Structure 1
Amino acid sequence: MWSPRPGRRTLAGQFLVLQLAVVALVLVIVGVLSFQQATRSFEDDRGARLRSAAEYLANVAVVRDRVGSTDAARELAPAVDRAVSLSGADVASVVDRRGKVVASTRPALVGTTAALGDSRVLEGRGWTGSVTTDRARVLTGHAPVLDDEGTFAGAVLVEQTYPSSWQRASNAAPDLALFLGVGAGLGILGSWAVSRIVRRRTRGLGTRDFARLADHRQALLHSIREGVLGLDPAGRVTMVNDAALELLGLHDASLGRSVGDLGLEPHLAQLLVDPADASDLVVVTGQRVLVLNRRRAATRDEGVGSVVTMRDRTELVAVQQQLGSNLSITDALRAQTHEFANQLHTISGLLELDEPDEARALVTRIVGVRADRESDVADHVEDPATAALLIAKSSQADEAGVLLEIAPDCEVPPLPPDLSADTTTILGNLVDNAIDACRGRTQARVRLDARADDTALVIEVEDSGDGVPRDLRETVFVRGFSTKPEVLGGRGIGLALVRLLCERRGGSVTIDEARPSLFRVVLPWESS
């Protein structure tokens, strides 16, 4: 099992640090927003009070009457001081039409030009906002002063200096502490919970460990000779190595696609997505014989899909089929030896009974039958390996009570070594199937016909059985798989192997439409 390196922070640890950093950043943002909110609250609340105080002072009769007098500073002082006391402002001032201070709670300002900022109070409009003076930044409320005729006579300015940052933070401290405390607590608790979940799901691995795992996985997948295919529970490809791509005839764009969309043969696709475990499934697909093993994949008792491994056994099966043909010939020769021994015993008995004429007649008959059979095969089949196979199959057919006959116009010329090997494998399978199909029937018969032209060798094998039903004429060639390990010895894939060998040479094997027990094979002289 893969384990993290000592001293290296796990992915869960890194995630926790990142989460805490995010929480800290959020808390800082919350603090800044709270500080700004406190400033806005000060401007809204105090601005309204300052403007109310300015409007009150602007409507005082003495201010309206004496704003333009030469002794306004002394005459308006009581009213200005009262406005400051009522509003809690720092400074209250009265200016004339030109913006010059004529009275103020701060005598030093009398005679100076007031800082009005963006205010349009000298146009007769009230205003509230912030103004930067030579002293500090202040919040101020402005109100115009109108005389008894409604003419603009001056303005009232009521100002309060902005509190310091510390004062604003202190004012917002109770709510800010609550918000920050709750936010920090929830953030830290959530980050810890998430880190625990991540740690459990990632087995305590770090980012470098994941990178190393991915590198090792890629190296292992693409270095082994067996094909490996990973599927999720929905039957989509999650993993595939180069060997599997080659064996299945796929391309790199197969990842993420459903098995049904890969263009595989239906029986092969069904085997790949079957949820049950299976071992040593043999399937014939395209021009290959594959052995599949399928296992369900699970983590913490939860299914995550399946893994299919595959091996190419095309050459091995072909060799085993050829070996099977040789063994078939050996069995036929053994049967002939047993038959000859019985016949020799009979001849020996006739001689001991002093019946030389009967013994001579029996020998003549035996030699004649064998000679006729061999002569019949030799007259129609010039290829030695094919001829030897047919003589052996004749003996097997005799033992099964089946007559193996060769069509009068049958002709098999000498064949190239590679074509001869394929022909014996194909012919052996077809004859064996034909013998099995009509075994035990009355007048059971298997008929062989072959002809050659300039392009191909055509072989026909027909038996006296019922033939292949119409709905199974394709299935008998594609259902070349079995759950039995001994299938590699030749059982279960005979006809599928026949099609495989034919298609590899660019030929074909078909069942005649009108005669369902007749198999027709076309083998081109040149392999495609």
Structure 2
Amino acid sequence: MTRRLSLAGQLLALQVIIICVVLVGVAAVTVAQTIQGAHENEGRRALAAGEFIANARATREAIEESGVRYLRIAALSTRTAFDAASVTIVDEHRTVLASTESDLLGTRFPIGESTVLRGRSWSGEGSWDGRPAAIAMVPVLDLDGETIGFAAVYRAFPSVGEGLVRALPNLLTYLGLASAIGIGGSLLVARRVKRQTLGLEPAEITGLVEHRDAMLHGIREGIVGLDLRGRVTLVNDEAIRLLRIPGDALGRTLEDLGVGEEVSDALLAGEVEQDRAVASAGRVLVVNRRPIVNRGREIGSVTTLRDRTELLELRRELVLTRHVTDTLRAQAHEFDNRLHTIAGLIEIGEGDEAVRFVHRISSSRSEFSAAVTGAVRDPSIAALLIAKASQAAELGVALRIAPDSSLPVLGDELSADVATVVGNLVDNALEAASTAPQRWVEVSLGLVDGEVDVVVRDSGPGVPPGMEREIFRRGVSTKHGEQAGERGIGLSLVHLICTRRGGDVTATAVGGSTFTARLPVDAETLDETLVDA
């Protein structure tokens, strides 16, 4: 079985072949130029020989006196002196008087397009003994400047082989240098290619790409790769679905793709992100981001996206269940305390005081319940607030409803979201206010400009400066204790619910903490709410 060349070997072989072809072309051009130069040189040497014999006084006198013997000797001498192929002397009637070729004597010499009989020297190309040759014709002039004859000199052109021999020294030098440079450069290119491909061959690279694509598009998590300029370098089908971006996302920035601000912030974060929950296109995504480092230099980042919308819904239901459980526990505890108080008053014979005590607590609860039901017509949210009053009483915190609160009946889904937001914000406020000198929490609810506004104020220490946005991230909390690692969930859940519906939640610290949540109401639900109102 024949072993195939490696990628570096194939590149080297291909480049060597290209170099050889180029060198052959260079050699051909060099030989052609050499031959062309030889032709021009032979023409000049033929013209010089013709001028030598034609301008001699003895030649002119011999033609005038018919000195044929001298002319023949002069022709032979000139051929020998100038290494010419043939030398011929012709009179003004084109009759050959003398020639180194004896068979031409007495014949009529052909001049073709030559201008020699008009007294002008002429050179061109002709044929001698079946070979291409340079021919020069120089007129012989008398003392009056009249043409009395001319001398014709032939010099044979060198053959291709002779031209190659003449060009061989320089040609070998050029070819040697070009070969050394070319092969050396090819070796460097082959080595660089091998290093850049990590020693992998084309079949192996193809296999890696195919496996990567299959794995990338087969996993259920979304994957997004970004370069240092924030352009998408890698994206799979799940990421396109979760982010709702076009399929031709490669090479485009997140801004061009219309990715939301919160998701963009997570994808472009400078630090490592672990299990960061963000809202995107009606979904809750868990983001994990890692930088990509190559040879100690960061070249981009890769981020995985997991859809946790269903888990969020489950968590919301669990939170509501926990609220109910905590409220029932608080009510049971409060009920036990009041029963004990009533029993004690009866035992010591203070029956009237026991009756007044029952009226007081009944009146206080009735007033708060009446205030809540008068301002909040949605039964789920009203019941939640009334139940939270028991929890507040257990902590010694006064829970009150803002006088300007007014909330109509909401749709089932929106009501559940608002209840989750209210429950978490009130729990957070009650815990903060329970350690303050003045312990109170105020809740304001309303439907303003197509949005449900939830405002919860407390008398606690307030949100630390600089953490107004950070506090809504999962795992971030201003509280410390044995369970600090389990904190930072309630506010992050509030943030996710608000952003998922297209709203927002903010926190300020002026005289305590103020949390403001806005949950937009879709047009159909808003119309139904206004009709019910």
State the TM-score, normalizing by the size of structure 1: 0.81
CA contact (8 A) 1:96 1:154 kept: yes
1:339 aligns with 2:338: no
Q: 1:270 to 1:456 in 2, by over 3 A?
A: closer
1:461 matched to 2:455? The reply is yes
**What is the aligned counterpart of 2:26 among 26, 30, 36?**
30
* SS of residue in 2 equivalent to 1:163: coil
Q: Does 1:13 align with 2:12?
A: no
Partner of 2:144, secondary structure, is: coil
- 1:229 counterpart residue number: 224
Aligned residue type for 1:163: P
Residue in structure 1 matched with residue 36 of structure 2 by the alignment: 40
1:149-178 CA-to-partner distances (Å, cap 9, x unmatched) read: 212233322222222222222222222222
Query: Is the CA contact 2:125–2:134 (under 8 Å) kept in the aligned structure 1?
Result: yes
Would you say the 8 A contact 2:72–2:99 is kept in 1? yes
Map of 1:84-103 to 2, 5 A cutoff?
84-97=79-92, 101-103=96-98
1:447 aligns with 2:424: no
Contact 1:283 1:479 in 2 (8 A): no
1:119-163 CA distances to partner (integer Å, 9 max, x unpaired)?
Answer: 544443334443245611112333232222212233322222222
List per-residue Cα deviations over 1:210-238 (Å, max 9, x = no partner). Answer: 44444444443344333322223444332
- Give the match's secondary structure for 1:493: helix
Paired AA for residue 51 in structure 1: L
C-alpha displacement of 1:25: 1.0
Distance 2:153 2:91 in 1: 15
2:131 — aligned with what? Answer: 136
The CA deviation at 1:344 is 3.6
Aligned to 2:389: 394
In the alignment, the residues of structure 2 paired with residue 315 and residue 35 of structure 1 have an alpha-carbon distance, to the nearest angstrom, of 82
- DSSP 3-state at the match of 2:77: helix
Unmatched 5+ residue regions in structure 2? 477-483, 527-533
Structure 1 residues 245 and 465, CA gap change in structure 2 (3 angstroms): farther
Instruction: State whether residues 405 and 446 of structure 1, in contact with CA within 8 Å, keep that contact through their aligned partners in structure 2.
Output: yes
Please state how far the C-alpha of 1:286 moved relative to its aligned partner: 6.0
User: Which range moves more in the overlay, 517-526 or 482-491?
Assistant: 482-491
CA contact (8 A) 1:487 1:493 kept: no
Aligned pair in 2 of structure 1 residues 177, 518: CA closer, same or farther (>3 Å)? Answer: closer
Q: What is the CA–CA distance in structure 1 between the aligned matches of 2:185 and 2:208, rounded to whole Å?
A: 29
Deviation of 1:495 after TM superposition, in Å, equals: 5.0
Tell me, yes or no, if the aligned pair for 1:11 and 1:202 is still in contact at 8 Å. no
Partner residue of 1:497? 496
Q: Is the 8 A contact 1:12 1:198 kept in 2?
A: yes
Gap regions ≥5 residues in structure 1: 1-5
Structure 1 segment 56-95 matched on structure 2, within 5 A: 56-67=52-63, 72=68, 74-95=69-90
Q: How big is each residue's C-alpha offset from its partner over 1:281-326, in whole Å with a ceiling of 9 and x where there is no partner? A: 3334564433222222234445432222222334433442342233
Partner of 1:323: 318
Distance 1:84 1:12 in 2: 61
Alpha-carbon deviation of 1:350? 4.9
How many angstroms apart in 2 are the aligned matches of 1:76 and 1:249? 104
**Cα gap change, 1:225 to 1:110, in 2 (>3 Å):** farther
**Overall identity of the aligned pairs, in %:** 37
SS at match of 2:288: strand
* Larger relative contact order (CA 8 Å, sep ≥ 6): 1
> Which of 517, 524, 528 lines up with 2:521 in the alignment?
524
- Paired AA for residue 273 in structure 2: A
**2:379 paired residue number:** 384
**Worse overlay, 352-361 or 221-230:** 352-361
Q: For 1:320 and 1:397, how far apart are their aligned partners in 2?
A: 23
* 2:50 maps to 1:51: no
The answer to whether the 8 A contact 1:281-1:291 is kept is yes
Distance apart, 1:180 and its partner CA: 1.5
- The one-character-per-residue Cα deviations of 1:379-417 (angstroms, maximum 9, x if unpaired) are 444433223321232233334443222345645444332
Please tell me the residue identity of whatever aligns with 2:30. Answer: S
Deviations 1:437-464 (A, max 9, x none): 65544544433344569x9574442525
Aligned partner of 1:170 among 149, 165, 187: 165
| Residue identity opposite 1:140 in structure 2 | I
2:251 alignment partner, SS class: coil
Q: Give the count of matched residue pairs.
A: 514
Q: In the alignment, what sits opposite 2:156?
A: 161
Q: CA-atom RMSD, angstroms?
A: 4.0
AA aligned opposite 1:307: V
Cα offset, 1:496, TM superposition: 2.7
- Cα separation, partners in 2 of 1:258 and 1:509, compared to 1, 3 Å: closer
Of 36-45 and 279-288, the range deviating more from structure 2: 279-288
The letter for the 1-side match of 2:495 is: A
Preserved CA contact (<8 Å) 1:115 1:132: no
Q: Distance in 1 between matches of 2:123 and 2:485?
A: 98
1:3 corresponds in structure 2 to: none
Conserved 8 A contact 1:320-1:489: no
Report if the CA contact (8 A) 1:230-1:240 is conserved. yes
The SS at the match of 2:158 is coil
Mapped to 1, the partners of 2:130 and 2:417 lie a distance apart of 109
